[in-house]
Homo-oligomer: A and B are copies of this chain.
Amino acid sequence: MKKTSLNDIALHLGVSKTLVSFVLNGKGKEFRISEEICKKVLAVSKELNYQPNRIAQGLRTGRTNTIGLIIADIANPFFGILGREIEQEAAKFGYRVIFCSSDENPEKSRQQIEMLQQSQVDGYIISPPKDSEDQIRALALGNVPLVLIDRFFPEIECNQITVDNFDAAYRATNHLLRMGRKRIANITVNLDLINMNQRTEGYKQALRDSGHRVEESLIKVLPFSHENKEVAKAVKDLVTKNSQNKVDAILFSTSKLGINGIESISALGLKIPDDIAIVSFDNPDAYKICVSPVTVVNQPLKEIGKTAVQILLGEIKHPDNHAKIQKIILKTDLIIRKSCGS
């Protein structure tokens, strides 16, 4: 059951495939193909269920209508929602998306970028892992449509869409202070990622601005791929009564940390917010139904995804004016629930 090609339609009607191509691309008028023939072509193409071969089109035109997406992990709802939005917005304009999960591993992302290059994608949306500057720089210099999301590298000039992480953490920390918390910890991952770094800087600044001392021992930095027990260990050190690091609040920089953290806190028999207050970045379902619903920094995921696609498609369609690089910083909102007391 071979697929119908342009040529099949042409043979069927005794015309050239040039003509068929013109008609099916809506250029019948432009190339003065007679009404009558146009209709016949359309009819036969429907009759034979013609489906254009996008691969052949891609080879000829150099455009595949495909974009490559590299994120940390599509199974993580944060990226799931982002990916969903990107897929949807891209589909609106006739673009498909090849999804790649890098696991924050630069070697994987290198391979994925290479694969996407070979696949001749028209552009890239990437949430770059640490130590991937070289890859990103090479892409950016290669003059390929590219948008970074969630993080970026300050020294690379490139379209990017992020949230104001510093501000978000600053406000979250301030909220904890306003609620009367005196000693606040921060559990985070991998400070080589600029977004994470900015979160911790915002946290520090809020402490300083309110006259508190920043205690490095209250900042727990875990590796990206952390296990439940590593979070448990960090939490334990921060909440047990006789620990010299005993705190009354924790700011979690990711929801994965927060979810594991809440599990640990519960396991230790402590109550939120009575024994310890918490605020977390990101807004998974889990936080709505847990013992004490969690106050969160909510990121505008839909807007990030949608804007990323729009900027990317803009670049794809007008490759010329790559002069105006866009660096978009979106605002987050703090959703106040019960985990900080009242």
- Cα–Cα, bound, A273→B217 (Å): 40
Question: Of A50-58, A176-184, A199-207, A239-247, which stretch is located at the interface?
Answer: A50-58
- Cα–Cα, bound, A96→B96 (Å): 12
A164-185 toward B: CB 8 Å interface, digit per residue (1/0)?
0000000000000000000000
Total copies of this chain within the assembly: 2
B54 touches A118 (CB 8 A): yes
A119 touches B289 (CB 8 A): no
User: Nearest chain B CB to A241's CB is how many angstroms away?
Assistant: 23
Question: Of A70-78, A151-159, A187-195, which stretch is located at the interface?
Answer: A70-78
Asked whether A98 is an interface residue with its Cβ less than 8 Å from the other chain, the reply is yes
Asked whether A236 is an interface residue with its Cβ less than 8 Å from the other chain, the reply is no
Q: Which residues of A from 75 to 101 have beta carbons under 8 Å from B?
A: 75-77, 80-81, 83-84, 87-88, 91, 96-101
A278-321 toward B: CB 8 Å interface, digit per residue (1/0)?
00000011111111000000000000000000000000000000
Residues of B within 8 A of A291 (CB): 289-291
A51 touches B117 (CB 8 A): yes
Other-chain contact of A55, B59, B286, B289 (Cβ < 8 Å)? B59
Question: Closest B-chain residue to A85, C-beta based?
Answer: B75
Asked whether A326 is an interface residue with its Cβ less than 8 Å from the other chain, the reply is no
Could you list 16 further interchain pairs (A-B, Cβ under 8 angstroms) beyond the known A56-B59, A75-B80, A98-B98?
A53-B118, A55-B58, A55-B64, A55-B119, A74-B87, A75-B77, A75-B84, A87-B100, A88-B101, A91-B100, A259-B285, A259-B288, A259-B289, A266-B289, A286-B289, A289-B290
18 A-B pairs whose Cβ atoms sit less than 8 Å apart in the complex: A51-B114, A54-B118, A55-B58, A55-B119, A56-B59, A59-B59, A73-B84, A74-B83, A74-B87, A75-B77, A75-B84, A76-B80, A77-B80, A83-B99, A97-B98, A259-B289, A284-B285, A286-B288
